Amino acid sequence: MRLTLAFILTIVFAVGLVAFGFTFYQSTTERNKLIRELEIRTEQVTEDILQGDTFFFEIVDQHNIERFADSINKRYNLLGIAVYYNIDSIISNNATRNFINHSMDYISQSITADTSLGNFFTIAGESIYQYIKPGNRADISNNAVVFYTDAGYIDTIIGKIWFRNFIRWFIQAFLVSLVTLLIIRWGIFSPINKIVDWAKAVRTGSTGQIKPQPYLKFLDPLHKEIEYIAKAMHEAKATAEEEARLRTSAEAIWTPERLKVEMENLLQKKKMIVVSNREPYMHIHEGKEIKCIVPASGMITAMEPILKACSGLWIASGTGDADKETVNKNDKVEVPPEEPKYTLKRLWLTKEEEDHFYYGFSNEGLWPLCHIAHTRPTFRNDDWHYYKKVNEDFAKAVLDETKNEEQPYILIQDFHFALLPELIKKEKPKAKVAIFWHIPWPNPESFGICPWQREILHGMLGADLIGFHTQYHCNHFLETVNNALESRVLWENFSVKMGGRTTLVKSFPISIAFTLKDYDNNSTKIKPSQLLYEHGITSQFMGIGVDRIDYTKGIIEKFLAIERFLEKNPSYIGKFTFVQIGAPSRTLLKSYSDMVSAVENESNRINWRFKSKNWKAILLLKRHHSHEEIAPFYSSANFCMVTSLHDGMNLVAKEFVASRNLNDGSLILSRFAGASQELQGAIIVNPYDIEKTADAIKLALEMTTEEQNKRMTQMRLIIVRHNIYSWAASLLRTMATIN
């Protein structure tokens, strides 16, 4: 209440000060204007009366002064006159006799200067204006006539201005105070109280309130800071509860805190560097502001816990249009922006490097080569040249950052940097280098298509450790090495000896950030019909698919299976809708732009075939969606459908399973996705077999609740026991044990 009163009094004072300033200026301007008008009018009256000075002094004497004064007073609205002949001879009418004493000094000045004078004086509280005109009569010197005018009306007008503005100021101050009170009460205190209630709810364990709504824009900094504090409090409490549960159940489940302790023990203050093409945080222009976003990537999800745990360095290509504006002179920026935990160093690719290294060799060559999805790989000399150059540039950046480190840990990501391990090891042999290959490795015959397979294998074998998602991919890699290089493959421990160096090849099935507190999350879910209604669709059942629009994801095959399902089960027409969230990717490449068109055309064709009012068989949402946007679809759908034609792991399958906190729903999973080896509770399908995949949709929709719970519980337990923190710990432990 005191704060409100002080705020209102401050506003009243401020309004009053401004009103006083404006009124003072207005009254001063108006007074000067009125005085000037009075002076001009009196001067004009004087000229009219004194048309001939000689005549005037002849007709005005002591006997007729009153009569003369009365006549001109009525005609010109004057108070009276006085005629000065000399200091001993002054005649005036009765009304002006008391004014003479106020005129003597000015009469002398006027006669001496031989110029007219005008001035104001006050007598008996009345303001009088006198105008003195010296005479020009030749036979009489030192004569003058004085005209007196009432100037009191000026003070009256100015007084009214002050009074009127005071009333106006009072009304303004009252209204401003009233509006201010309302704004403070409902516009400021109410959002602040919501933030307080929300922070209190989080502190006391009522986690249902994730974010207070609504809140004011100018409170954003306060809101964000409280959000970080509340989030930290909640995480600390959840971690304590989780640790207590782990001790009770003796379960070896990994958490971020446990990974951090493990990292400290393994690294022993040695530097950890992650190298990838894609950056974990991207700065982009959004209007006049710069916004920081997280690109959608399973690799980023996997690597960030490692960097956060050890405050390491991440080296990546800068691709955001505002990236250069946010780095320091060393091209570095601390991330995450709200609570920095590690450093991101950005390297800048030229347009030619991006075209040949990224789009060319990486995505038109290695990507289709490693994914058996019937798209022919393309290899060009220029692409290979730039691929080598970019690998060399990244190697130089790594070596510059580790010049004072004898044995840093360097974790290289994916097929963009196959040459990097050898380049680093050549200059820093004691460095512990690992490369994780996030995509499949094909059989030796398929990989033999690459003209530079030996150079790629040599580059990769520079690492101490090579990781794949599955043992199947490890076997293919070792077979490729055995066929292509003069080396010794040790199958008993899955390693390669070549040139005095040993490289361990091991599978590390990647996962997601999923712990016991996430497992026990009891958040509510929305009915499928509610989600679909927002898109103008009335439907009872819903399936969900989340993919980049890529020829390896089997989206066309998925749509054909949905079409066949509706053919075989017409009772579901009008009742079942499949939602495909598809993020366009690499659209500068013809194969990808063609795939986007093919997906759209197939969706339109099937929808047209089963056309019905307020219903669609397939709802295609063709844009990038954040995790927050996807989450309601994951938790509400009757099933998720993953139909990859060839995939290293596919984290969408695991994200869907993790979201099913009620242990309901079904997962239809391609046998060609790495996740199928872990998630045995899924309905495993061959996406090329349209008939069987259509039957799997019917099975998912009609599976009993008991069977859904049994399968989903099994898969969720697998993910929580083998989460991303477990994956990171296993990978780093293996790196640390290599001599």
What confidence tens digit (pLDDT) does each residue in 339-380 have? 899 999 999 999 999 999 999 999 999 999 999 878 899 999
Cβ burial of 380 (10 Å; 0-12, 13-18, 19+) is: middle
Residue 227 has pLDDT above 80, yes or no: no
Do 725 and 256 contact (CB within 8 A), yes or no?
A: yes
Whole-number Å distance between alpha carbons of 329 and 181:
49
**How would residue 422 be classed by pLDDT, with cut points 50, 70 and 90?**
very high
State pLDDT tens for residues 650-709. Answer: 999 999 999 999 999 999 999 999 999 999 999 999 999 999 999 999 999 999 999 999
Which of 689, 669, 691, 690 minimizes the C-alpha distance to 680? 669
Res 4: pLDDT:
65
Which residue in the block uniquely carries the two structure tokens 């609740």? Answer: 705
- pLDDT exceeds 90 at position 330: yes
Rounded CA gap, 544 and 668, in Å? 10
Q: What is the pLDDT of residue 570?
A: 96
pLDDT tens for 472-521 read 999 999 999 999 999 999 999 999 999 889 999 999 999 988 887 777 77
Structure token pair of residue 103: 């005129």
Structural Rg of the chain based on CA atoms: 45
Which of 111-125, 285-299, 377-391, 573-587: highest mean pLDDT? 377-391
Whether the CB-CB separation of 373 and 382 falls below 8 Å is answered with no
125 neighbors 118 (Cβ within 8 angstroms): no
Q: Residue 355 gets which letter from DSSP?
A: I
Angle between helices 298-310 and 724-737 (to 10 degrees): 60
Q: Give the model's pLDDT for residue 250.
A: 45
Distance CA 1, CA 25 (A): 36
The yes-or-no verdict on residue 88 having pLDDT over 60 is yes
Is pLDDT above 80 for 425? yes
Best-predicted range by mean pLDDT (172-181, 197-206, 219-228, 651-660): 651-660
Quote the pLDDT of residue 547.
92
- Tell me which of 423 and 30 has the higher pLDDT: 423
Say what the pLDDT of residue 249 is.
45
Q: How confident is the model at residue 303 (pLDDT cuts 50, 70, 90)?
A: confident
- At residue 692, the pLDDT reads 97
DSSP letters spanning 269-330 = T--EEEE-SS-S-EEEEETTEEEEE----HHHHHHHHHHHHHT-EEEEE--STTHHHHS-TT
DSSP 216: -
- pLDDT over 90 for what percent of the chain? 50
Contact 717, 511 (CB under 8 A): no
pLDDT above 60: residue 211: no
Q: Which residue has the tokens 């690719």?
A: 349
Confidence class of residue 573 from pLDDT cuts 50, 70 and 90? Answer: very high
For tokens 């033999």, what's the residue?
A: 448
What pLDDT score does 220 carry?
66
**303 CB contacts (<8 Å, ≥6 apart)?**
274, 276, 280, 314, 411, 413
**Residue whose pair of structure tokens reads 């400290």 in the numeric block:** 264
How confident is the model at residue 504, as a pLDDT? 97
CA distance 600 to 582: 10
> Residue 488: beta bridge partners?
497
- pLDDT bin (cut points 50, 70, 90) of residue 248 is very low
234 versus 297: the higher-pLDDT residue is 297
Quote the CA–CA distance of 292 and 284 in Å, as a whole number.
Answer: 6
Residue 51 pLDDT grade (very low, low, confident, very high; cuts 50, 70, 90): low
| Cα three-residue angle 129-134-136, rounded to 5 degrees | 150
Domains and their CATH numbers in the chain: 2-157 (3.30.450.20), 256-512 (3.40.50.2000), 523-722 (3.40.50.2000)
Bridge partner residues of 684 (DSSP): 669
Residue 532 to residues 26, 101, 470, 615, Cα–Cα distance (Å): 65, 98, 37, 9
What is the C-alpha separation between 641 and 685, in angstroms, rounded?
A: 10
391/605 Cα distance (integer angstroms): 44
- Contacts (Cβ under 8 Å, ≥6 apart) of 454: 484, 485
Structure tokens belonging to residue 294? 């997280």
pTM of the model: 0.69
Q: How many CB atoms lie within 10 A of CB 477?
A: 24
* pLDDT at site 641: 98
